[in-house]
Amino acid sequence: MGLISAAGSGSGLDVDSIIKALVNAERAPVEQRLNRQEAQTTTTLTGIGSLSSILGTLKTALQKLDSASDFKLRTTSLSQSGYVTVTPGETASSTSFSVEVVSLATGSKLESGVIAGGSSATFGDGSLDFSAGGNTFSVAVSATDTLTQIRNKINNATGNFGVTATITTTDAGTKLVFNSKITGTGKDLVVTNTNAALNSISTGMSSTQAAANGQIKINGNVVTGTSNTYSTAVEGITITALKTNTAAETTEVTIAEDKSAVKKAVEEFVKAYNSAFSEISKLTSNVKGAEGPLAADSSARSITQRLRNLLTGSVSSVDSEFGSLAAIGVTTSRTGTLELNSSKLDTALSSGFDKIVSLFSATDGLAQRTISYIDSQTGSNGALQSRTTTLNQDLQRIAGQRDSLSLRLEKIETRLRAQYGALDALVAQFNGTSTFISQNLASMSTGSKK
C-alpha cells in the first residue's frame, strides 16, 4: 500500500500528529546533545581565538624589549649644532669629549672648456668611462646625442657610483662639470673615452678640485679619514663632520645613559602584561553569571601560569642583584598583576643600568624566552593552532551527525507513514464491515416487527 499524505482519512485518527510526535521523540535527545556540543565547541573555539590574539599583542609589546637597541640606551647633547652629528651605538660608554672639524673630506671636480653650440652640441659615437677609488661605470653616447642628453644619461646611468653631471652657462659660455662623491686622497675622478671626438667632455677636462681626506680633532688629537664619517675615533660612537670649525673652536659632546627611556620601556611592559593578564582572566573566569568562554579550560590556565613564571622568574645570565623583575621593583600583586615601585627602579637604574637592559634583552632574558614560549603556542605548529584545527574538525563532525540524524528521521517518518497507512486502510475496512452488519441487523429488526 502506498504512503498516505493525509493520514487518518480512513480511520479518523489524527495520524499526522502521532507521526510528528514519534519523530520528534527520536529527534529531541540527539538534537539537544548536538546543540550542547556545538555550543560548547564554538564557545571554546572563540575563546582560543581570543587567547591567541591576546598572546600576539603581548608578543608585540615584548618585541620592543628583546634587543638592547630597542631601549635607546644613550642620549647625546652637543654644545653647538651644525658642525657634527654624533650617534652612539649599543656599546657606547657614558663619556664626554670635544670635536673640532679641521677639514672636510672632498670628492674631485672636473670642468670642460667652453662648448660651442651649448647644450644642443653633439659630439660622436662612443663610450664615456668613469672611475674613482676602484669604482667604475660606462655610458654609451650616440652621434645624435646632445650635451643635455649626455648629461641625463650620465646622471641616470646604472652603476653610477656618485658622479653628478651639470651644465653651466655663464658670460664665458657653456661648460660641462662633473662632481664626484668619492672622497679621499688619491680617489680622483678619471673620465676616458673610446672616440677622440668625446675628448672635450672627458680626457680634455680640467681638474678644479682634487679628492682629499678630511680631518677632525678629538680632544685636540688629529684623526684623518677618507670620508666625513668617523666610526672608530671614539669606540661605539659614529661622528659625521658637516662643516669646518674656525681655529680652536670645538663642539663639546656628552654621551649619557638614557635612564628615562629604559624606565619608560619597563613601564610599558608592565602595562602590556597587566592588560594581557586581565583579558586572559576574563576568558578563564568561572564566576557565576560572568563565566568566560574558557572557564573550564585547563590549558588556558596553564598558559597563564607559565607566562607568570617566565616573566617573574630569574635570568641566570644577569647578576642576581638585577636578575629578576622583583629585584628592580616590579612585583606580583595578590590578584596576579604586576606592580611597579618607581623609586626602587630609579635606584636600580642608577647602579645597574646595562644589567637591567640585559634582564629583558639577553638571550635568556625575559622578553626573548617569553616570545619563544608564545610562538610555541600561537605559531603555525603551536598548541593553540592544533586545538583550533581539532575544534573545527569537531564542528564538521557535529554537522555530519546532524545530516545523519536528518536522513534517519526521514526513514523513520517514511516507515511510520507506511505502517499508519496500512492501519488506516484496515480500520477503514473494519468500519465498512461494521456499517454493513449494522445495516443488516437494522433491516432484520424492522422485518421482525412487521
Q: What Rg do the C-alpha atoms of the chain give, in angstroms?
A: 45
Regions in the chain scoring below 70 on pLDDT: 1-13, 424, 428-429, 432, 434-436, 439, 445-450
All CATH 2.60.40 domain ranges of the chain, comma separated, are: 107-209
Q: What is the pLDDT of residues 165-179, one digit of tens each?
A: 999 999 999 999 999
Q: What pTM did the predictor assign? A: 0.61
The per-residue pLDDT for 9 is 53
Residues 341-390 have pLDDT tens digits of 999 999 998 888 888 888 988 889 999 999 999 999 888 888 888 888 88
Task: State whether CATH 2.60.40 applies to domain 107-209.
Answer: yes
3-state secondary structure 215-228: EEEECCEEEEECCC
**pLDDT for the residue numbered 232:** 93
- Residues 349, 353, 356, 357: what is their CA dihedral angle, to the nearest 10 degrees? 130
pLDDT of residue 46: 87
- pLDDT score, position 4: 46
Closest CA to 104 of 250, 243, 211, 248: 243
Cell, residue 279: 583579558
Q: What amino acid occupies position 99?
A: V
Quick one: which of 180, 175, 198 has its CA closest to 190? Answer: 180
Residues 6+ apart with CB under 8 A from 194: 126, 127, 129
The whole-number pLDDT of residue 312 equals 84
Contact 311, 371 (CB under 8 A): no
Q: How far apart are CA 198 and CA 220, in angstroms?
A: 48
Distance in angstroms (rounded) separating the CA atoms of residues 250 and 125: 53
The sheet with strand 251-257 has its strands ordered as 74-78, 251-257, 95-103, 214-218, 221-225
